[in-house]
Structure 1
Amino acid sequence: MASPEFSGSFDLVKLGWHDSADLPEGLVPARVARVDRGVAEVLAADGQHQAKYGARIRRASADNPVELPCVGDWVALRYLPEGRYELDSVLPRSSAFVRGGVGRVSRGGLSGDGQGHVLAANVDIVFVTEPSMHATDFADLGRIERMVALAWESGGTPVVLITKADLFDRGLGELLADVAGVAPGVDVHAVSSLTGDGVAVVRSYLVGAKTAVVLGPSGAGKSTLVNALAGDGLMETQQVRAGDGRGRHTTVHREMILLPDGGLIIDTPGIRRVGLYDISDGVDLVFSDIEELAGSCKFGDCSHTSEPGCAVVAAVDSGELPERRLESWFKLQREAAWMARRSDARLRSEATRQWKIITKEIRGRNRP
């Protein structure tokens, strides 16, 4: 896939820069537009550059991939005598969409390394996309719940986009209502990049120098939406595969695109499943209806399974709360708890390793 090309100099304010703090002497700010194998494509005041990672970046990210530069990051560049820039450090993030290091779910539970991976940073809006022909499946409502929870946790504002709305003949209003029911307090819009319906609404979220990331499964029309917003065929697109309706992976790198009318958007490869990472308030916000019901339970430590006077179970029995939604809440709660334990174990192991290194160095210095 062709990467969008930039030319000339850049107004950092239009790229979202609003930090007035001075960087150390010799360093200049830039924003990461793309990352590929240890090299970041960055946009600085004097133009577009490719910058390799410096020693500080390599040390910081050796044991924690979250410290690696990612698309949307603001970074500090150092100009080297040989006439190129080196990426010295990642500047503090205002938000970060982090996926957990979970590979799969098996009968024995979750598997993964307990580490996080940043998909996008310094994002104001998280567009969660789901194609209209899939959004009625229970599994995909669960995917929307998961993605919205992670969006809230990132520090960005989630917006759910039901894409390819032109393919949904009847009952679009009911579909949007069902989706709104699993994402309380979140804007939900129908979009057709083919006809242009809803594209202006999406663009309205990107006023000024706002940055958005587009997330969703393959075949959701993410790149087609980005093209519609950019007004040009920047991102290559393909049709979904014949037979199963699944999308092909057309976007293989995360890329940040500067839109002609202002604002920036980050396109991403298709995501089939995203593990939770360091999540706390996100799940509570997505399942605020269950949290509110739980406040009426007879017992404060109610597990919402079989206790007498459980308002949550009563809501399921009466049809007020879909059983699928309660099961999804249980699942995400278990996964978040598992990831927290896994992360704590990794941190304890790393602390032990570091302490052994320090102890060995001290003993070496004390030897005669």
Structure 2
Amino acid sequence: MNNYKTKEFGFTEEWVEKALEYEALQTGRVSSLAKGIYKLITGHGDINAELSGKFRFSAAGPLDYPTVGDFVMLKHEAGSAIIHHVLPRKSVLTRKEAGMTQENQLIAANIDRIFICMSLNSDFNLRRLERYLTIAWDSGATPVVVLTKADLCEDVPAKLDAVSDTALGVDIFVTSCMSEDGWHPVKESIAKGHTVAFIGSSGVGKSTLINALLGEDLMETDGLRNDDKGRHTTTRRELFVMPDGVILIDTPGMRELGVQSVDLSRSFSDIDELSAACRFNDCQHNSEPGCAVKGAITEGKITEERLHSYRKLEREAAYAEMRARKREEEKIKKMFGSKSEMKKKLSEVKAKNRR
């Protein structure tokens, strides 16, 4: 019998209808995973679970597997819990895996807001922020920028202005956990029952902020290194439920942040809008006459660095899309052979049917 008394971990009415198809199974939410073992929050407490053999066999790739934040349908079998299904996701945060591979890596699922943490000391990097904003918008969740360690910054207003010009239409909070109420604006912005994920580089203060929100030191933290950067302490993704019903997801610092086939119109809405005013529809924003983007750079409305970042991410996204199509073609070829072989087989089938 399904147990729907699980609102404390985000299983609201919108999910009940999705779970009705599996009345014989129970509901759970993935809070962490390690070496194929999934830790789940359920209406009966926390349990460990594994994937069923049928699930593993039918999964087409890594993105089909459960990740932190997923709602799953499970069954207790012979003293162990087995995951049989993952409910459809309303949002999913991914990034390109480190290295040469073009595979996507799951970060978290079913998130309402993504808090992009960037410290105001030596970690401050607008180009990296653009990458975070791109994958956040692409996830289906709403990004929020959290500027941490304001006590270590000599000119907060100047950096806040720079972030405002980069994170267009995005809420921005300035925090400092050195003061007793330095994190209150973030807490007040999170609604009960919502799931929020914290992402950012190593040592920007994500764990410190989460501890402040939780009201206890559940996440390990460390001080600053000699180069004014925080020490990386979070080593895995983990979901926590606050006493007031807010769900928080902490993630490890991301050393590499590649993008896959993404839509840049949200993270670069200024360039997207300017492009529509260019004289030529296929304007590359180089030396074409009547280029509105170049005109905005001359007028100081946007920077040359922002255009360069846009082009770089556009190339990465196009390359990733090309690679994805190539992989799909190779799979089809492996399954059915070349086009000529496919036509030959089709002709043979047609000839056989005419006899």
Of 7, 11, 14, the match for 1:13: 7
Q: How far apart are 1:10 and its partner, in Å?
A: 9.4
**SS of aligned partner of 1:114:** coil
Q: In structure 2, how many angstroms separate the alpha carbons of the residues matched to 1:272 and 1:102?
A: 8
Of 58, 70, 87, the match for 2:83: 87
Distance 1:84 1:279, change over 3 A: same
Distance 1:306 1:101, change over 3 A: same
- Structure 2 runs not aligned, ≥5 long: 343-355
Trace 1:3-82 onto structure 2 (pairs within 5 A). Answer: 11-18=5-12, 19-21=15-17, 22-61=20-59, 63-80=60-77, 82=78
The superposition leaves residues 196-230 of structure 1 with CA deviations (integer Å, 9 ceiling, x where unpaired) of 44422111232211000000001100000010000
**SS of aligned partner of 1:151:** helix
**SS of aligned partner of 1:286:** coil
Indicate the residue corresponding to 1:293 in structure 2: 274
- Please say if 1:202 is aligned against 2:207: no
Q: TM-score, normalised by structure 1?
A: 0.86
Of 277, 282, 288, the match for 2:260: 277
Q: Name the aligned partner's letter for residue 57 of structure 1.
A: F
- Please say if 1:127 is aligned against 2:127: no
Distance 1:39 1:56, change over 3 A: same
Q: Name the aligned partner's letter for residue 200 of structure 1.
A: H
Trace 1:101-140 onto structure 2 (pairs within 5 A). Answer: 101-103=97-99, 112-134=100-122, 136=124, 140=125
**SS of aligned partner of 2:49:** strand
Q: Name the aligned partner's letter for residue 167 of structure 2.
A: A
Mapped contact 1:57–1:90 kept (Cα < 8 A): no
- Corresponding pairs, count: 332
Q: In structure 1, how many angstroms separate the alpha carbons of the residues matched to 2:190 and 2:333?
A: 46
Q: In structure 1, how many angstroms separate the alpha carbons of the residues matched to 2:205 and 2:324?
A: 34
Of 145, 156, 170, the match for 1:186: 170
Q: TM-score, normalised by structure 2?
A: 0.89
Mapped contact 1:64–1:115 kept (Cα < 8 A): no
Indicate the residue corresponding to 1:309 in structure 2: 290
Of 222, 243, 248, the match for 1:238: 222
- Structure 1 runs not aligned, ≥5 long: 1-8, 104-111, 360-368
Indicate the residue corresponding to 1:6 in structure 2: none
Q: How far apart are 1:319 and its partner, in Å?
A: 2.1
Distance 1:352 1:102, change over 3 A: farther
Q: In structure 2, how many angstroms separate the alpha carbons of the residues matched to 1:25 and 1:197?
A: 46
Q: How far apart are 1:102 and its partner, in Å?
A: 4.8
Q: In structure 2, how many angstroms separate the alpha carbons of the residues matched to 1:213 and 1:93?
A: 15
Indicate the residue corresponding to 2:137 in structure 1: 152
Deviates more, 1:341-350 or 1:120-129: 341-350
**SS of aligned partner of 1:133:** coil
